[in-house]
Structure 1
Amino acid sequence: MSLPQQLRDESDFDQLPHNIPVSATIADIEEKKGFIDYFRFVIEVKTKGGSKYLIYRRYREFFSLHQLLEAKYSPEDPEKPGPNACILPSLPGKVFIGNKQEIAESRIPELNTYMKRLLGLPTWFLLDEALRMFFYQTDQDSQQLPQTLRRLRPPTRKVKTVKPNMDLFSSPRAEVYVEFGESKTETELEEGELLFVSACVSADYLQGTANNQTGIFPESFVKIIKPLPEGESEGDGGDHTYSCLRCLMLTPTGVDTRDVCVQEDLTIQPTYKDLLSRMRNVFEKDNIALNYRDPEGDLIRILDDEDIQLMIKESRGQQGKVKRPVNQFPWELHVTLASDLSVYNTEA
């Protein structure tokens, strides 16, 4: 780079606002359990003014950003880019098969390189609105509490290693004395088995892990050996608070009712895609349709996010007429086979 060009670039950089992001590094990944389970990246952002903060982003948010930037700045002819065009760094591609945690871990170095090159593009590019909003710390970001931030630890710091068995047996745990597990929402365990308690789901149910599987179980069916620490009980408002979604699978032979626990707030509006994916897993069927009942009791098929919004709006209008537990969503999902049209009221 020539000296005049370098001086001009430095001058342009000095004119940037202090809140412009200039570097970003992935500090960790965290699992988010909701209508679908996914991993998000915990990213430390540094601004031109020297401040630092954390944001939380999914891979699909990286993908959406990249598509927007490509549409705006990718030159039609890479050999002759125009004044408002630049060569964007490559984004790691989508992966459709594999362990979600392993996929997220493997993406970290590639995404770090992507962000470094993205924020190293010409000064005018850093002022792009989509780019700034991606790296902006929202109110939701600022309210999150990071779990470990292991990649921000100094390389020379010694981390104490604890043997797995010692760590497990220092954890809250219980012993099963009543065999249970017929419900899909419960952990299948036999009498005498040991399980490790991680959260209080409701007044009657706990969450725990046994045999490398995590689920919920009735507190009355186990003997508590070591209780949960104070502050992790029901209603503490922490990350372990669960909400219950009533789901009904309508088939020619009857109705299969499931209560699905998800780590989501009762006010959330999930996407149609996420709900469909979750119901396919719950009922172990692919060719299904989602529905809700309108105030007249007729079954209405859900086709997109707008239908989800309408379902929630109508269910809130019915609140007070139906008695529900305090942690249950005011709306229910009625799942049918996609090919079964006999469940709908087709009378004129």
Structure 2
Amino acid sequence: MSLPRQLRDESDFDQLPNDVAVSACIADVEEKKGFIDYYMFVMEVKTKGASKYLIYRRYRQFFNLHKELQDKYSPEDPEKPGPNTCILPTLPGKIFIGNKQEIAESRIPELNTYIKRLLSLPTWLLLDHTLRIFFYQTEQDSQHLPRALRRLRPPTRKVKTKVTKPKLDLFSSPRAEAMFDFRSSSKLELSLKAGEVIFLLRKVNADWLEGMVNNQTGIFPESFVKIIKPLPDSDTESEGATASAGTYSCLRCYLLTPSGVDTRDVCVEEDISTQPSYSDLMARMRHVFKVGGVALNYRDREGDLIRILDDEDVRLMISEGRRHAVKRPVNQFPWELNVTMESDLSVYGTET
């Protein structure tokens, strides 16, 4: 069945406000690295008033929009649409298995067709509040820095890009680069290899620093390193650095097994104040440690493990972490995760 009359009657079109979206296309997909990794579609939107801007939407936002429009406007009998009903275009269905990036890329042509047909519907539907909010540029959209936007490039122009990422430059924490090898002479000292990036924890005295590299913490002579980003001089500067730091933060987590402890520093594209859900943390830890059947825990002030079972426990862990925070790098979360096997109750000092 063909769609209802297209939105191109000049008399109807002229009645639209200038800020209503009348066309949009997906320019690219971008990966969002957080507690759960996913892809967002980058769309260039054009309004009736001739303005252009970029918005960033997930597939599930398309899905929620389509469902709400269906509930409002889809006729009970598609053969007999009423005056306040409309036959909506078909949205590409959900895909549960496969590479996330490949799935996102494959959806672009179908979503572009969906968007084009959606914005060609009668003018009264374009004035729907839900539809207008979907295509508005939010404050978060406006602050997002666009990347390649491959589908907006002129087709005759060949663009070659070379992206070089420093090995550990994802963090905005104080850090330094080792200029020379340094061999520790005691358990308190940190061995360094030339070229390694060290995350700085504190200044011990005029000549020595404390830092972390390869999950090892210790002190080392400042003369052996080149400072990339210095430690803050005061607590006030530290707070300012936290507020102005980049989008990446560091989460310290441990996998506790009978054979030992596996320590990881996980880089996530979340603000330091983010409060993740229990399900997101669980999925992230399974991905990081490549193991199933695990339980999440945190340590209380006495050093005992407390198992996390739901979102309320996550809030308690974060609250306790902030209340009893220890000195950490600027972009490191004030709380830590301890991952154990779900069936291993011995870590709690009891088997009952």
Distance 1:93 1:306 in 2: 33
Q: Structure 1 residue 61: deviation in Å?
A: 1.9
Q: Structure 1 residue 313: deviation in Å?
A: 3.4
Matched residue, 1:337: 341
Aligned sequence identity (%): 68
Q: TM-score, normalised by structure 2?
A: 0.70
Report Cα offsets for 1:81-138 as digits up to 9, x if no partner.
3333322211212223333222222111111111111111221211222222211111
Letter in 2 for 1:334: N
SS at 1:106 equivalent? helix
SS at 1:221 equivalent? coil
Matched residue, 1:16: 16
Letter in 2 for 1:337: M
Report Cα offsets for 1:26-72 as digits up to 9, x if no partner.
11122222223322111111111111110111222222222222233
Letter in 1 for 2:321: S
Matched residue, 1:221: 193
Q: Which runs of 5+ in 2 are unaligned?
A: 179-189, 197-227, 231-240
Pairs within 5 Å for 1:14-93: 14-93=14-93
SS at 1:45 equivalent? strand
Letter in 1 for 2:268: V
Aligned residues: 292
> In 2 relative to 1, CA 316–85 (structure 1 residues): closer, same or farther, beyond 3 Å?
farther
Q: Give RMSD over aligned pairs.
A: 3.6
**Range with greater deviation from structure 2 (247-256 or 111-120):** 247-256
Letter in 2 for 1:336: T
Distance 1:265 1:7 in 2: 42
SS at 2:132 equivalent? helix
Matched residue, 2:269: 263
Q: Structure 1 residue 197: deviation in Å?
A: 4.8
The reply on whether 1:98 has 2:98 as its aligned counterpart is: yes
Q: Structure 1 residue 255: deviation in Å?
A: 4.3
Pairs within 5 Å for 1:307-318: 307-318=313-324
Equivalent residue for 1:273, pick from 271, 275, 279: 279
Pairs within 5 Å for 1:42-191: 42-156=42-156, 158-161=157-160
SS at 2:169 equivalent? strand
**Range with greater deviation from structure 2 (136-145 or 5-14):** 5-14
Letter in 1 for 2:251: L
Q: Which runs of 5+ in 1 are unaligned?
A: 173-195, 207-217, 225-232
Distance 1:159 1:110 in 2: 25
Distance 1:113 1:284 in 2: 38
Letter in 1 for 2:330: V
Equivalent residue for 1:199, pick from 166, 169, 176: 169
Which structure exhibits the higher relative contact order, with contacts defined as CA atoms closer than 8 Å and separated by 6 or more residues? 2
Matched-pair contact (CA < 8 Å) for 1:204–1:219? no
Q: TM-score, normalised by structure 1?
A: 0.70
Matched-pair contact (CA < 8 Å) for 1:243–1:266? yes
Matched-pair contact (CA < 8 Å) for 2:7–2:13? no
Equivalent residue for 2:331, pick from 324, 327, 332: 327
Distance 2:265 2:303 in 1: 21
Q: Structure 1 residue 344: deviation in Å?
A: 5.4
Distance 2:155 2:8 in 1: 37
Letter in 1 for 2:331: N
**Range with greater deviation from structure 2 (301-310 or 124-133):** 301-310
